[in-house]
Amino acid sequence: MARRDGQSRGESSGGHNWQRPHRSHHSSRAHTSGHPCGQNTILHTFDDEFSFISPCLKYSLFFFNLIFWLIGGTLIGLGGWSFLEEYNHTFLKVQNILDFILHISVALMTVGAIIFSMSFAGCLGALRENLFLLKVYSLLLLLLFVGEVILSTVAFVFPNSFSYYLKENLSKDPIMKYRDDTNLQNLIDVIQTEFKCCGISDKGYKDWSRNIYFECNQTNPSPERCAVPFSCCRNAKNFDSGLINIMCGYNVQNISSVVEVNKYIFTRGCIEAITEIIERNMNLVAAVCLGSALIQLFAMFLARSLQGQIFAQRARWM
């Protein structure tokens, strides 16, 4: 009767034979065990191929860090090439942290090394499921994020003091080393040309009197005495030939009227010009800062999630 009843059920379900699914000894199953309080606890066991570690999460973190690993390696390569080109026959002189930052090639290598190290820990930690490397990666990301928050808070709460600090510190060394460092010289020229400014502090073009070549002093034997770099000029290029007139800023510091000087060169400092552009584009700046913060938080979320899955997998093996 049981067999006939089973056949009738198979016929009513479309003519296919109904069979009870077979459970192997590797399949997931659950059973109950006695509880000290008289309750039953359900214990789950999993097959040998089951893993708590999600391949999607694991390789998302890997490829995410692979991109930054390549970027860091590129920065190190560019900085190293520039450093060898500039200091092939001379020694690097570093007296303080500002000197270190102002050497563009060294700054590139430093930033590249930080990005390379962090992303390498993230890549290898995700690929090898290494908890130590993932913890290091998470810690470095957290420190970077906290540092950015502190710096942004100081700049927002004390804007005048922050701006004054930048003007006082950046208006001396970069100006004085303009002719000594080719990379720094090119960077200053690009900034002055793009932001239509001259000098760094509120003194504007007068900052260039701190440079021994441009110093406006009667005892200065330099042919560039009382001049400013060509990147300060409003019309540095010759309209006919298209060539840059490097002498367009000669003797402008001798002109007493700022209004007259403004006809030939840009007179305001670059920090003032950059600050004005930032204030006009606060929405874009806020979007960039928010995007950067979200990327870092997303990376921390991936790393912490993968750590939790690795802990769960290890607990299963114990």
Tell me what the pLDDT averaged over the chain comes to: 80
CB 316 within 8 A of CB 52: yes
Question: Which top CATH class is 167-278?
Answer: mainly alpha
pLDDT band with cut points at 50, 70 and 90 for residue 35? very low
Is residue 229 within 8 A of residue 192, CB to CB? The reply is yes
Burial class (CB in 10 A: 0-12, 13-18, 19+), 306: buried
Q: What angle do CA 70, 103, 161 make, to 5 degrees?
A: 105
At residue 38, the pLDDT reads 40
How many CB atoms sit inside 10 A of residue 80's CB?
Answer: 15
Would you state the pLDDT for residue 49? Answer: 67
Look-up of token digits 């270190």: 100
Find the range with the poorest average confidence among 6-15, 72-81, 219-228. Answer: 6-15
Which residues does 54 contact at the CB level (< 8 Å), separation at least 6?
A: 309
Q: What is the per-residue pLDDT for 196?
A: 93
Quick one: pLDDT at residue 125? Answer: 93
Q: Kindly tell me if the per-residue pLDDT of 14 is higher than 50.
A: no
Q: Rounded distance, CA 46 to CA 50, Å?
A: 6
Mean pLDDT to the nearest integer, 137-153: 92
Statement: residue 46 has pLDDT above 70: no
Whether the predicted pLDDT of 30 surpasses 50: no
CB-count exposure of residue 87 (10 Å: 0-12, 13-18, 19+): middle
Pick left, alpha or beta for residue 257 (phi over 0 → left; psi -120 to 50 → alpha; otherwise beta). Answer: beta
Q: Above 60 in pLDDT, residue 286?
A: yes
* One-letter amino acid for residue 309 of the chain: Q
Q: Enter the pTM of the model.
A: 0.71
Query: Looking at the chain, which residues constitute the CATH 1.10.1450.10 domain(s)?
Result: 167-278
pLDDT at 16: 37
Query: Confidence class of residue 312 from pLDDT cuts 50, 70 and 90?
Result: confident
What six digits make up the tokens of 11?
A: 């016929």
**Whole-number pLDDT of residue 91:** 61
The answer to whether 236 touches 210, Cβ cutoff 8 Å, is no
